[in-house]
Amino acid sequence: MKFPKKLQCVIFDMDGVIIDSEEIHKKAYYETFKNLGVEVSEELYKTMTGSSTINAFQKLVNHFNLNDIPEELVLQKRKFYVNYFENDPTLSLVHGVKELIQFLYKQNLTLVLASSSAMVNINRVFSRFDLNEYFTAKISGADLIASKPHPEIFEKAAILGGVSKEQCIVIEDSDNGIEAANKAGIYAIGYRNLLITDQTLKNADLIIKDYNKLKKYIVDFQ
């Protein structure tokens, strides 16, 4: 797919794209798995990456034929996550992302957040790192019927941005997220987060390791 000729809207994933929180999500998941008494392989966990928490636990319950209620597991995992979030002093924004966000905002581009995280976690991150002023809208996959790799979240993000899908780009760090963007018909940029090693990003239209490259790319196409 070609880069939009008239870019109007940039849709961001959050975990691993804006904030380096994938590791604390993983710790919170595995604390929950431990409480359940199940051993989740890296391969199985990879298939859950990018999905909403409720969908991830529905998959887990079905996989292990558990009697546990997915909604209750979501709450357990959230407690672990909040504990890590509030007590991990190393938690930070991805290098260069706030400068990218401010740059895009000054270019009068519409910014939309489309994350599989629960809205309570999205708001927690946006408040802690002062991001609310830059974004027109935020959408949580936890509030949707389908989860990534289903395209619903990005289709709705484009609607919230008030533009056509052809005028949008998506920035993602997971294979499920890239697949969702592909299915939505939106140009997909794969961000290669060095802390995340289990995602190929092979179906991205463009792969970047440095947000400065994306700024240059956007300037060249404007």
CB atoms within 10 A of CB 185: 16
In this predicted structure, what is the pLDDT of residue 182? Answer: 98
DSSP per residue, 153-209: HHHHHHHHHTS-GGGEEEEESSHHHHHHHHHHT-EEEEE--TT--S---TT-SEEES
In this predicted structure, what is the pLDDT of residue 91? Answer: 86
Domain with 151, as residue range(s), is 9-20+92-221
Q: Is the pLDDT of residue 133 over 90?
A: yes
Domains in the chain, number: 2
In this predicted structure, what is the pLDDT of residue 220? Answer: 82
Q: Domain ends where: 44, 66, 87?
A: 87
Residues 45 and 155 grouped into a single domain: no
What pTM did the predictor assign?
A: 0.83
Q: How confident is the model at residue 216 (pLDDT cuts 50, 70, 90)?
A: confident
Mean pLDDT, all residues of the chain: 93
pLDDT digits (tens, 9 = 90+) for 11-65: 999 999 999 887 888 999 999 999 999 999 999 998 888 788 998 999 999 999 9
Peptide bond into 70 cis (omega under 30): no
Q: Any idea which residue has 């709705």 for tokens?
A: 156
Residues, the chain: 222
- The answer for residues whose C-beta is within 8 angstroms of residue 216's C-beta and 6 or more apart is none
Q: Looking at the domain assignment, is residue 33 inside a domain? A: yes
